[in-house]
A and B are shown apart, each in its own frame.
Chain A
C-alpha cells in the first residue's frame, strides 16, 4: 500500500492483476488478546482457496508495550542492505526511533526468496513546516516516500499497536516463518490466502494491505477498478500496485479516515441498494440513498468482492450487492468470526453458538464492547 506514482500516459499504468482468495477474521469483542492458532488453522482449512502465491496476517493489539508509537514493518527485498541504510537514515531524520529489531523468523521454514523484514517503533519528529500536519498524515506521507523512492524497500504496515506479516507462500507457511503462533497475541486477527493471476514472487503483493491502522483483505475482482482508480486519483491516490484491492484500501482511507463517514454508510457506497429498492424507501431514506449513490457513484465497487476491513476496535465484513463472493459470520461468547467458508470457523471453534450469512451489501460490523455484529443477524440466513 501507499506506493504512489504518477504516469503521464494511461498506457504506462501497469495492468492490474486479478486475485481471488480465502479470507478469515476473528475478533474478541471484549478486547482480550489471544494467539494465532485459530486464524492459522482456519485459513489452512481453506487451503484450496489459495494457490500458495501469497498469504498474510494483520494483528491488532500486537504491541501493547509500544502502543503509543507507530510500528513500521518494513521489508527489504533482494536482501538489499543499502536500502536498509537509506531507510534508516530517513527514519532518523524524520522520526524518533525508540526501538527497532529484525522481525524474528524461523530459519527452518523454507519460503520463496525471503526479504529482510525489520520493525521500527517511531514517533514523528516534525520540522516547523510540518507542525500543521496531523501525525497520521505525516506518517502517511513518509511511508509513501519510502515505498515510492527507496528501491527494494517496502512498508508492510505503519499503524500503532498493529502489524502486518505477509509474504509469498501459503498463509500457514508465512505464519510458521514469522512464528506468529508462538510469538504474538492480538484481539483481532485477519488472514488472507491468495490466488492471484499475476505478480508471483513479490512479498509486498500479498494481503493484507495497510494504511496506518487500517487493513484490508479482499477476495474477488473489482470490475469497476478503472472508474474507481480514476476517481481516487482526484484525491491524490495513485494506484501502482496492480491490484484491485488497492482501490478498496484507498477508498476506505478516503471515506472512513479522511471524510469520517460511518462504516455502515460506506458499505452502502461500495455496495449500494438497487435503484428499485431505493424507490421503495420512505422519503428521507430515499433522499439519503439517492444522494449517496449520486455523489459516490465512482466508488461503487462493481463485480464480485468480499472484504474484511479492520482498524482498532472494529472489524467489518462486506460483500458486493449481489453477493457474488461468500462470507459467513459466526459468534461464540466474545469471539466473532468472519470467513469465506463456515467449515473453517467450525474447524477452529467446534462449539460455535451462532453462524449466519448476511445478504449482499449488508455489512457485519464487529465492534469492541458492543453487540453490533448481531444487527445483521435478522437480515441474514
Chain B
C-alpha cells in the first residue's frame, strides 16, 4: 500500500457518470417504426439503454451513427415477446458485438472488433468489413457473414444441437486457430482477399475440432491443419450448402457467386467425435 491514510477505493469504469435515459433520448430520434441514434460520445451502457428503449417503443429498424467502439450492441435486446429488429451500425462497433444475440439482425458498415457474435443464440450479423479475434466464439445458432478477414480463433468452440446449426461465412482469410475446439456448425472460408496461389494465413486450423464442418476455398498446407481434422472430398450435399451460402454472401456484399463457386474447395471434418477419448488412464 502507499502508506497513506487514504484509500483509493474503486471507480467504476463502466457505470460511473452515466446519463439517465430521459437525457439520453436527446441522442435518439425514435418514431413508430424506426429509431436513429447518434452514438458519438455515448458509453456502452448508454447506447444499449437507447437500443432497449427503441425496442420497447416497438420499432423494427434502428440506425446507429457515429459508433466508435461501443460494446455489446444488441446484447440487451432479449425480450421474448417482441418482434426482432434490424440494427444498422455506422461504422465501427466495439467488442462483443451481438454477444448472446437473441434473433435480431445486425448490419455493420465498417470493421468489427473482437468477439463478434460471442455465444450468439439466434439472428444474423453482417459485417461489411473485417472482424477481430474470436469471431463466432461458442456461437450456437444464427448466421454471421464477414466480408473480409478475421483474426485469431474464429469459430472457436462453435456448437450445434439438432436444427440449431450456426453458420459463419468469412469472405477473406483468417489468422491462427480457426475452428479450434469446434463442436458443431458450418464454417466457410472463401479466401477472396488472397492472391491466386497464396496460402491461407491460419495455422492450427481445426485443432481439437470434434464436430461440425469447415469448407475452405483456396490453399492450405497439411502443416497448417490441426491433428484432429482430415481433408475430405466434397459430396453433392456439401456443394449445395456451399452454393447456398456463397449466393447469400454475394447478395450481402455484391459479389459474383459463380466466380467464387469455381473454388477450389476442400472440406475439413473432425477425425473423431472424441479426440481425447484415449488420453486418460482409468
Contact B223 A357 (CB under 8 A): no
CB contacts (< 8 Å) of B10 on chain A: these are 51
CB under 8 Å from chain B, chain A span 170-229 = 170, 200-202
Q: Is A346 an interface residue (CB 8 A)?
A: yes
Contact B130 A381 (CB under 8 A): yes
Contact B13 A51 (CB under 8 A): yes
CB contacts (< 8 Å) of B149 on chain A: these are 381
B interface bracket (residues with beta carbon within 8 Å of A): 35 or more
B149 to chain A, nearest CB (A): 4
Partner of A341, one of B69, B91, B173, B177: B69
CB under 8 Å from chain B, chain A span 348-376 = 355, 357, 359-360
Q: Is B23 an interface residue (CB 8 A)?
A: no
Q: Is B279 an interface residue (CB 8 A)?
A: no
Contact B132 A326 (CB under 8 A): yes
CB under 8 Å from chain B, chain A span 315-360 = 322-323, 326, 328, 341-344, 346-347, 355, 357, 359-360
Q: Is B172 an interface residue (CB 8 A)?
A: yes
Q: Is B174 an interface residue (CB 8 A)?
A: yes
Partner of A357, one of B94, B110, B175: B175
Among the stretches B1-9, B211-219, B270-278, the one at the interface with A is B1-9
Tell me the bound Cα distance from A45 to B94 in angstroms: 10
Interface of A, secondary structure class, is loop
Task: Give the interface centre of A50, A357, A379 by most chain B CB atoms within 10 Å.
Answer: A357
A interface bracket (residues with beta carbon within 8 Å of B): 35 or more
Partner of B201, one of A51, A276, A328, A359: A359
Tell me the bound Cα distance from A112 to B44 in angstroms: 26
Tell me the bound Cα distance from A170 to B14 in angstroms: 13
Q: What 0/1 readout, one digit per residue, does chain B (72-106) give for beta carbons within 8 Å of chain A?
A: 00000000000000000001111100000000000
Partner of B8, one of A48, A200, A346: A200
CB contacts (< 8 Å) of A326 on chain B: these are 113-114, 132-133, 151
Contact B113 A52 (CB under 8 A): no
Contact A322 B176 (CB under 8 A): yes
Contact B91 A360 (CB under 8 A): no
Tell me the bound Cα distance from A89 to B13 in angstroms: 42
Q: Is B245 an interface residue (CB 8 A)?
A: no
CB under 8 Å from chain A, chain B span 225-264 = none
Partner of B13, one of A52, A168, A328: A52
Counting residue pairs across A and B whose Cβ atoms lie within 8 Å, the total is 98
Contact B223 A323 (CB under 8 A): no
Partner of B113, one of A50, A51, A342, A379: A342
Task: Give the interface centre of A47, A201, A322, A343 by most chain B CB atoms within 10 Å.
Answer: A343
Tell me the bound Cα distance from A347 to B201 in angstroms: 28
CB contacts (< 8 Å) of A200 on chain B: these are 2, 8
Contact A323 B175 (CB under 8 A): yes
CB contacts (< 8 Å) of A347 on chain B: these are 68-69, 92
Q: Is A280 an interface residue (CB 8 A)?
A: yes
Chain A interface (Cβ < 8 Å from any Cβ of B): 45-48, 50-53, 78, 112-113, 168, 170, 200-202, 276-277, 280, 322-323, 326, 328, 341-344, 346-347, 355, 357, 359-360, 379, 381
5 of the cross-chain contacts (CB-CB < 8 Å) are: A51-B13, A112-B6, A342-B132, A346-B69, A381-B175
13 additional contacts, CB 8 Å, given A323-B151, A381-B150?
A: A45-B68, A52-B13, A170-B11, A341-B69, A343-B67, A343-B92, A346-B110, A347-B69, A357-B132, A379-B201, A381-B149, A381-B172, A381-B173
